[in-house]
A and B are shown apart, each in its own frame.
Chain A
Amino acid sequence: MNILSKTMIACVGLALAACTQPEYLQGVDGNGAGSGAYGSGSAQDPTSPLYFQQTVGDRVLFAVDQSTISPEGAATLDGQAQWLMTNTAYSAIIEGHADEQGTREYNLALGARRANAVQEYLLSKGVAGNRMKVVSYGKERPLEVCSDEACYNKNRRAVTVVSAIPNS
């Protein structure tokens, strides 16, 4: 219940579109991401995963069939690198995604290219390689479900999902 109520509070201050995706706010973006990761901490706390997601920006978008980081993407990733360098108790899984225009196999490989481009960028900004993992979901986990460019451009993404490194 605690997680749920905090998630709902966080929703109040957000755009409606984001509130329609409570699953994502709880960090369940694909079966691989750690569930509940974003239920903790508040968006006002700059050390919280929620702040990382909403204020720093957890995702970069890509052009059709491309894995090149755009200038806007680079700006977002600069913020991600800075956050990760400051908040060393967190590790990141970078999820690469594709839109539905393409075969399942090709999109898996394309998603891997995108996730890798983000990882390389963060590495170049000083984030330690052992704090990052990449995974491709291909076209298996679209964020938006319509079948036109308005949705496709949001689905061609790489999302950095941060979670606390377990205490050893």
Chain B
Amino acid sequence: MMKHVLTLLAAFLIGATPVAAQDSQPLKIIVDQGVIEPLPFAVPDFVAGSSASAEYARNIARVVSADLSGTGLFREIPSNAYISQITSFSSPVQFADWKAINAEALVTGFVNVDASGKLVVQFRVYDVFAGQEMSQGLQFVGTPDGWRRMAHKVADEVYKRITGEGAYFDSRVVFVSETGPKNQREKRLAIMDYDGANVSYLTDSSSIVLAPRFSPSGSQVLYTSYESGFPRINVLDVSNVARRALEGQDGTMSFAPRFAPDGRTVVYSLTRGGNTDLYTMDINTGASQRLTNAPSIETAPSFSPDGSQIVFESDRSGTPQLYVMSSGGGEATRISFGKGRYGTPVWSPRGDYIAFTKQSKGRFHIGVMRTNGSEERLLTASFLDEGPTWAPNGRVIMFTRETAGASGASSLWSVDITGRNLRQVATNTGASDPAWSPLQN
């Protein structure tokens, strides 16, 4: 099922460029700033070690460029503006030529297929105006069919060095692929790279599937399935698509599952007699524990990254609002107080924000707030936006957007936590309920 089992070996390269000490500001983008001018950069096609690696050398540079440009923080300078070309990976860079076209950052690389058939990718990042390399060059080794992952790893390194934020390009997204008319929609679980490449299907469309969620390692996916005729939580192994229903789901239905950071505890909603409460279950033993006991709806739970707390949605006040409680249950503190209905809270992997869906005056929004409910910020607005999921670095959010009317269709969108860079994620069918994986190893 999973195509390339890929081992990426990273190694530092010995610096090839003499450090020219200059008194300029180091190259740096602050991601949290509201509006910034994208940083101009150049990624010439990587230098190919042989004709066998020429296509990889070109394609890897294009994926690196797409990753960086896709953040909205970088702007690529087209190759027809180049004054000098990079024909050798080891030769000194002609900084003046890159400075003249205002390329503040320059990424160069070398790609070769070695004697054992492994793809070797080396790259360096330059701060052009400082006239020096940013940190050391790196080398990745992997199987050729994993070339896109290697490109994402290169882009992740560039992004980390320039923004100081965590990486996220080498990640996957599990989602629900949708086809057919609105009243007879067919849904299948699918998985793809974060940028929409390498799609494969994890289930067929014979029963409704909803809201997949990755395990902390990315190897398993929890989701809700109507396979039995009733909503039940399944766990699926991503590597071989083997799936099973969780033990002991004895209510009318169970849904909205999510893993705890320990990778074996699952928090979910269970409905009995029309009433929905929160429970946890040990995925290995099936032992469950009731966390809430109220006549109201309690659903959409999400753990804090340290596993100590759970944020969830409840209509105990009369409308759906967000609450935080200890992961063992007990008293809950309401954190949403704005006008409107709040749902689907998700704790950021960095622990600093909670993303949510807000419904207000007939519109839907994706927003973020601090974990105590302060600093609420709406990032999007449309007929129907819902179900945020965090990029591994906690700086970008992906969500479902559905259009109105008989021809209404779902698609995936991403936006950064400042509300900038709203863009659609390419999928070849309708798509909903994205869940971002952790960064791949």
Number of interface residues of A (CB under 8 A): 36
Closest to A108 in B: B255
Cα separation A103 to B299 with both chains bound (whole Å): 11
B301 to chain A, nearest CB (A): 9
Query: Which of A40-48, A82-90, A141-149 lies at the interface?
Result: A141-149
- The closest CB in chain B to the CB of A67 belongs to B274
Is A103 in contact with B252, judged by CB distance below 8 angstroms? no
Residue contact A109 to B297, C-beta cutoff 8 Å: yes
Cβ–Cβ contact B231 & A103, under 8 A:
no
CB distance from A140 to the nearest CB of B (A): 6
From B206, B208, B300, B405, A105 is in contact (CB under 8 Å) with B300
A113 contacts B300, CB within 8 Å?
Answer: no
Contact between chains at B211 and A104 (CB < 8 Å): yes
Instruction: Compute how far the CA of A103 lies from the CA of B344 in the bound complex, rounded to whole angstroms.
Output: 7
B271 contacts A by Cβ under 8 Å: yes
Residue of B nearest to A114 (CB): B274
Say whether A145 contacts B253, CB under 8 Å.
Answer: no
Docked CA distance A141–B408 (Å): 13
Q: Which residue of A lies closest to B402 (CB)?
A: A100
Considering the complex, which residues of chain B in the window 283-326 have a beta carbon less than 8 Å from any beta carbon of chain A? Answer: 297, 299-300, 313, 315, 320
Which of B16-24, B105-113, B329-337, B379-387 touches A?
B379-387
The interface residues of chain A lying within 8 Å CB-to-CB of B231 are 108, 135-136
Q: Which of A102, A115, A137 contacts B274 (CB 8 A)?
A: A115
Q: Which residues of A contact B320 (CB under 8 A)?
A: 103, 106
Interface residue? A32 (CB, 8 A): yes
Which of A104, A135, A146 has the most chain B CB atoms inside 10 A of its CB? A104
Does B269 sit within 8 A of A, measured CB to CB?
yes
Residues B357 and A103 in contact, CB atoms below 8 Å apart: yes
Which residues of A, 70-125, contact B by the 8 Å Cβ criterion?
93, 100-106, 108-110, 112-113, 115-117, 119-120
Given A100-B384, A112-B253, answer yes or no on A140-B210 (Cβ-Cβ < 8 Å).
yes
- The answer to whether the Cβ of B182 comes within 8 Å of any Cβ in the partner chain is yes
Q: Is A134 an interface residue (CB 8 A)?
A: yes
On whether the beta carbons of B274 and A103 are closer than 8 Å, the reply is no
Contact B404 A23 (CB under 8 A): no
Assembled-state Cα–Cα distance A144/B182 (Å): 9
Whether A101 lies near B276 (C-beta < 8 A) is: no
Query: Which B residues between 204 and 247 are near A, CB-CB below 8 angstroms?
Result: 206-208, 210-211, 226, 229-231
Q: How far is the CA of A100 from the CA of B184 in the complex (A)?
A: 14
- Proximity bits, B389-404, A CB within 8 Å = 1, else 0: 0000000000000101
Q: Is A167 an interface residue (CB 8 A)?
A: no
**Which residues of chain A come closer than 8 Å to B184, judged between CB atoms?**
23
Find chain A residues with CB under 8 A from B206 CB: 31
Taking a contact as CB atoms under 8 Å apart, the answer to whether A135 and B252 are in contact is: yes
Report which of A113, A136, A143 forms a contact with B183, defined as CB distance below 8 A. A143
Q: How far is the CB of A93 from chain B (nearest CB, A)?
A: 8
Please state if B182 and A112 are interface contacts (CB–CB under 8 Å): no
Indicate which residue in A103, A142, A144 contacts B300 across the interface (CB closer than 8 Å). A103
Q: A31-B207, A144-B183 are in contact. List 4 more A-B contacts (CB 8 A).
A: A103-B300, A104-B433, A105-B344, A116-B275
Which residues from chain B sit less than 8 Å from chain A, CB to CB?
181-185, 206-208, 210-211, 226, 229-231, 252-253, 255-256, 269, 271, 273-276, 297, 299-300, 313, 315, 320, 341, 343-344, 357, 359, 362, 383-384, 386-387, 402, 404-406, 408, 433
CB-defined A-B contacts under 8 Å, sample of 21: A23-B184, A31-B207, A31-B229, A93-B229, A103-B386, A104-B211, A104-B433, A105-B255, A105-B313, A106-B299, A108-B255, A110-B297, A112-B252, A112-B253, A113-B274, A113-B275, A116-B275, A120-B274, A133-B230, A135-B230, A142-B182
- The residues of A with any CB-CB pair to B shorter than 8 Å are 23, 30-32, 67, 93, 100-106, 108-110, 112-113, 115-117, 119-120, 133-137, 140-147
